[in-house]
Amino acid sequence: MLIYVPPSLNFWFYLAIISSPSWVFSFSAMDFVKKTSGLVFIFLISTLTLLGCAGNLVLSYFYLYPQTNRSFRGYECAGKTIGFVLVVLGNVGLCYFPEKSVACILTFLFLAFYCLCALFCIQPYTGFGALEFLLTASLNPTLRRFGLPSPYSWLVIIACIVIAGIRFRLQPVHPPEQATSDEVDEGQQLRQLEAGLSSPGARLDNNPSPSDIFREPAPAGGPTNPLLEDIKTFNEDPSPPGVRLDGNIFLTIRHFS
């Protein structure tokens, strides 16, 4: 089941559908697309249109017919690995990709925003690092074109920070049986731990307390161990010299020759 994401799931769904043409238009304005002509240009535009429509159809299907089990469940470790490889190899490929136009920057930025809305609507078990790759892919051509001191670069950096912040701020927290290790509600775990510790006799380990170590039955003829003879309760002697082991028992240390 899908979990509520403020302001509403319908808001993010319709926002994804409305914003989907933006990356298609910006992609068609890239330099390498403009240099093509004839059948190649028609093929590229047709492919872009089909990809945009296919993405919206898949998003609509998963949103209108949510899966009983989250998408890509059981692939948390593989998702992190694929995401790491995607970011590393993708950035290496972008370094050798000559395109650094404004249209290229906006294409990856619009794709990142579309991916953010899709993640909120589908809520998969893992995103395979797609959003992180798209954000870094928009930063690389920005820094190569304008440089870090440029205000345009800082606008793109702020936009990337806002998109990443929205995801981490509004990312839904699923129940433990459906959540990844990053989505587990730590507050719930702390409450369970506190509830276990508040129960009578609850201990974090199986080690006996200091009072249990010296709590031995005395023999019939009386205690013969001199160490046991020196154990006195707090009620019997409120201020014995020695070291306090717990709330009620003091251990008096004497020198035995």
Would you kindly state where each structural domain of the chain is located, as residue ranges?
Answer: 9-180, 208-257
Q: Which of 121, 120, 226 is nearest to 166 (CA)?
A: 120
Residues with Cβ within 8 Å of residue 51, at least 6 apart in sequence: 24
pLDDT recorded at residue 80: 74
Distance CA 134, CA 138 (A): 6
**CA dist., res. 218 & res. 225, Å (int):** 9
Which pLDDT value is given to residue 233?
47
Q: State both tokens at 255.
A: 């020198």
Helices 102-122 and 130-146: crossing angle, nearest 10°? Answer: 160
What's the confidence (pLDDT) of residue 129? 85
pLDDT at 177: 58
Task: List phi, psi (to 5°) of 119.
Answer: -65, -35
According to DSSP H, which parts of 65-202 are helical? 76-95, 102-122, 130-146, 151-170, 186-198
Cα separation of 9 and 62, whole Å?
12
b or e along 148-185 (b: 16 or more beta carbons within 10 Å of the residue's beta carbon)? eeeeebeebbebbeebeeebeeebeebeeeebbeebee
Rounded Cα gap, residues 185 and 194, in angstroms: 15
Mind listing the pLDDT tens digit of every residue in the chain (257 residues)? 788 898 899 999 999 999 999 988 898 888 888 888 778 888 888 888 898 899 999 899 888 887 766 677 666 677 778 778 888 888 777 777 778 889 999 999 999 999 999 999 888 887 888 898 899 889 988 988 999 899 999 999 999 999 999 999 998 776 665 666 655 554 455 556 656 655 555 554 555 555 554 455 555 555 555 544 554 444 455 555 554 444 444 444 444 44
Unique residue bearing structure tokens 């013969």:
224
Other CB atoms closer than 10 Å to residue 84's CB: what's the count?
13
Q: What is the pTM of this model?
A: 0.65
Tell me which H or E stretch contains 50.
Answer: helix 39-64
